Each structure stands twice: as C-alpha cells, then as structure tokens.
A and B are shown apart, each in its own frame.
Chain A
Amino acid sequence: MFCEKAIELIRELQRMSDGQLPAFNEDGLRQVLQEMEALYEQNQSDVNEAKSEGRAELIPSIKLRHCCLLRNQRCIRPSLRIRALRWEYGSVLPPNIRFHMCAEELQWFGQYKKSLASFMRSLGGEEGLDITQDMKPPKSLYIEVRCLKDHGEFEIDDGTVILLKKNSQHFLPRWKCEQLIRQGVLEHVVS
C-alpha cells in the first residue's frame, strides 16, 4: 500500500513526543518524495491517456493516486516537528536541536520566528507585547536565581555586567531571566 514510509516517519515523531526531536530522517523523507514523484508521473500519463483517448475508467485510479500524494504531503510537513520549539527554547535554538534539523526546517523556523515577532509587535500599542514572557503569573519584579551552568557574561538594562558562573546566585529582573530559566541555564530560587 502507498504511504507506508510516510506513516513510519509519523510513528517516529510520536515515539519521541515527550519533547525531544528525533534525528532528521533524510533517507525516510527521500523515499517518501520518490514515492510521490512516481505517483505523480503515473497520474500525468494516465490523465493524458484519459483525455486523448477518452478513457474515463482510468479516473478512479488517478483519484486514488492523488489521495496518496495528499496523504504523503500531510505526513511530511515540518510544522509538525518544530513549531513548539520556538515557545520552549526561545528564539535561538540550542545546537543539539539544530543538529537534528535539516536546512528547510531551519528556514521554516526562521520564518515562523519572524511571523511571531511581527504579531507581537502589532499588539499592545507602540512597543508591542512579548507573549513568550510571563508564562506564569509574576509576583515580583526581581527574582533570585541560581546559575546551573557557566554562561559567561550577562548584561542587564542599567549597563551592569554580571558573570554567570555555575552555582553563583543573583538578584535579577524577572524579564531578563525568563528565557534563561526556560533554557535551563538559571534556576529560580523560591524561599
């Protein structure tokens, strides 16, 4: 039956659905694209024959192949894999995730980022509204954070540069830290 390879790719994604991205299955994708090409070519030739020789009985098979093409297309959409990543990881993807994505996916991700950014700018008057911030109701402007790994220098709004070394604790503005906490670099300390 057609589209078996495509469903295999979907099963791979489903297995990994706890958030980790599986390695990009280039071989699998190539097989699906090859199947799509073969289906398309067969349909082209059948359509021409149906038109020129009036063979309308070929039409059901043409329709069947067309359905398979649409199905394959549905299964290989990149958005299935990566839309969630922008919300979880922020606008810069960590290298281990990027490693698992192909060029087209990275391009799609870049465009999604742009769309999201222009949407956010259009909200809330002049400055826009960053909807990826404040995912939990904020209680205070400044929060206590502990550094979980070395992250180098970090500049805050008034110009001060803080050195984020492992296990150091800081009292920082909430909006600056939110991204780093989500990425697992800092830990919010609640006393």
Chain B
Amino acid sequence: MEENFLSLDDILLSHERLPIRTEITFPRLGFLEKSSDTQDIAEGTKMELPLWLSKALYERKRRVLSVELPKVYREGWRTVFNADPNVVDLHKMGPYYYSLGSQMLHFDSPENPDIAQTLLQTFIGRFRRTMDSSQNAYNEDTSALVERLDCLEKGLFRSGQSGLNGFQSWEKGQATQLTASSLVLNYRKRKITDIQS
C-alpha cells in the first residue's frame, strides 16, 4: 500500500520508530546511535529508526538492515486480534495500526501472510460496529465511541457522520442553503473565544 505523498497523516505515520538491526556499516554516522560513542554505526547494531528511513534504506536483494516486527504485529498479539478484534483499544496500540501494518509488509518478513490476514480480519471484525455507531449517533458527544479506534477507523467514522448529517440536513430542506466556509466559521469561533478570555 503506497503512501500519499501529500497527506499529513501519512507523513506522521511514517515517523513511527521501528527496531532494526544494521547489516552493514554506516561510516561517520555514529552520532545517530545514542548508546555508543563510536564514529561509525557498526554492522550488527541494534537501534531504532523511523519508518520512512527504514523503508528508504531497505533493499530486497542486498542486506542493508533487517527490521523487527513491532509487538502489535507479532504472533502473541495476532492471536488476541484473531480471537476477538473488538476488545482491543487500537488507539493505544499505536494509533496507526492498519497503515503501519500495511507498511510493515514492505520488509519481506516470513510472517507477512499472517500479518496481512490478521490486519484484514481485524478490520472486518471491527468495521460493523464503527459503521453502525457512525450512522446512529446524531447530534451527540461521540468521544466514547471513537476513543478506541485507530486513525483509519476514525476517518471512516467521520465520513459516516458527515453522510448522516448531510442526509439529515437534506431532510430538513437545508441542503440548498449556501453557507460560509468552515474555515471562516472556525476563525470566527476562535475570535469570539479569544475576546471572551
């Protein structure tokens, strides 16, 4: 799954750190590795690198670095997800569970088919609840409903809500009313709060 170059969410997601092991030396970059004082990063060093860098340096044919799977995608947690995907707080387990998981497939781990399967089944298991609640929560505080969702699910929830609100406003005959842009309305709200405080 490719990242969207201009998406803020994708940029932030690729900032997540992964445990890696270097398979070659990186001369003159020893300062990036906090635990030792060497000038170079030696072969076989264990350290953490952000996803964007790990992805860019990883090569299928040559051994440059090897990436360890984060806990959430390993067998232990996969069993939990397969048992009941709805109990897990995906916001706490790293808010980008699905996107990061898809990116992890890039690193040719032998567990890839199982990881992919778990990601898919977890999504399918949780989707029904997300969709249901997004279509039935009208004009109420939804924070309890979304707090355990990961970012992708939150986006879907928001789409569902916006569809629901659009339909309700159409029913009320408000659909053709032209409105000020949301940027303008938010700016005004902020100005009022600033003046009041």
Nearest CB to that of A65 among chain B residues?
B29
A60 in contact (CB, < 8 A): yes
Question: B150-191 vs A: 1/0 string, CB under 8 Å?
Answer: 000000000000000000000001111111111111111010
> How many whole Å from B114's CB to the nearest CB in chain A?
29
Do B183 and A7 touch across chains, with their CB atoms under 8 A apart? no
Given A10-B12, A20-B186, A181-B180: A137 and B175 interface contact (C-beta under 8 Å): yes
The count of chain B contact residues (Cβ–Cβ below 8 Å) is 38
Report B1-60 residues with CB < 8 Å from chain A CB. Answer: 5-6, 8-9, 11-12, 15, 24-29, 32, 49-50, 52-53, 56-57
Do A136 and B177 touch across chains, with their CB atoms under 8 A apart? yes
A184 in contact (CB, < 8 A): yes
A118 in contact (CB, < 8 A): no
User: Pick the contact of B174 from A17, A88, A190 — CB < 8 Å?
Assistant: A190
A14 in contact (CB, < 8 A): yes
B105 in contact (CB, < 8 A): no
Across the interface, which residues of B come within 8 angstroms of A88, CB to CB? 181-184
The count of chain A contact residues (Cβ–Cβ below 8 Å) is 50
Question: What is A's interface to B at a CB cutoff of 8 Å?
Answer: 1-3, 7, 10-11, 13-14, 17-20, 42, 46, 57-58, 60-61, 63-64, 67-68, 70-71, 74-75, 77, 79-80, 84-85, 88-89, 96, 135-139, 143, 174, 177-178, 181-184, 187-188, 190
Cα separation A75 to B6 with both chains bound (whole Å): 9
Across the interface, which residues of A come within 8 angstroms of B179, CB to CB? 181-182, 188
